[in-house]
Amino acid sequence: MVSLAAVFSLPLMSPSKGCGYRINCNVSRHTPYPVAYRMRVSPLYRKSDGTWPKVPEGHEAGDLRVATRSGKSVEWRRLYRPLELRNEDEVLVFLVAHEAFHYLRRTRQVEGWHGEIEADAFALRRLEQYRLVACRPPTGSPSWTS
C-alpha cells in the first residue's frame, strides 16, 4: 500500500485580506505503478445485539474503536477499500482532489462532513471522471473500435 503525501495549509488571515490557501502535494517519480492505496470508507458499527455487519466484498476491516456518545458506548471498526492508482497522473488527480475537498469544505463551497472519508469519496469521484476522459480518443481521430 502507498502513502500519499499532501499538506493543506490554512492561513491566519482570510483570502479577502490578501492571504491565500496553499495545497502542497508531493508524488515520487520513483514509485513503481500501479500502486495500491487503502481508502477509508464509512465504518462498520456493532449492532445492538452485539453482532457485526458483514464486511463488504473487497473491503478490509481495521482495528476496533470505542467511544461514548450520549452516555452510550459505541463500537466500530474502520473500513478500508483498496484503490489502484495506475500512474502518476492518477495519483495527482486523486491527491489534489482530496486536498481540494478540504479547502472547499473549509470555505463552505461544498456541503457535507469535513473528514478524511468524505475527502476520499470526493477524490474518488473526480478520479472516475478523469478516467472517463483520459480513456477517450482525441477529437477528430479515428475510433478505437474501427
For the chain, what is the domain count?
A: 1
**127 assigned to some structural domain:** yes
pTM value > 0.85: no
Closest CA to 76 of 118, 42, 49: 42
Positive/negative CA dihedral, 87, 24, 136, 37:
positive
Query: Digits of tens for pLDDT over the chain (146 positions)?
Result: 445 555 444 443 455 565 677 777 888 888 899 999 999 999 999 998 999 999 999 999 999 999 998 998 899 999 999 999 999 999 999 999 999 998 899 888 888 887 999 999 999 999 999 999 887 766 665 555 54
68 within domain boundaries: yes
Domain housing 100:
5-134
Cell numbers representing residue 80 in the block: 478500508
Beta bridge partners of 80: 40, 60
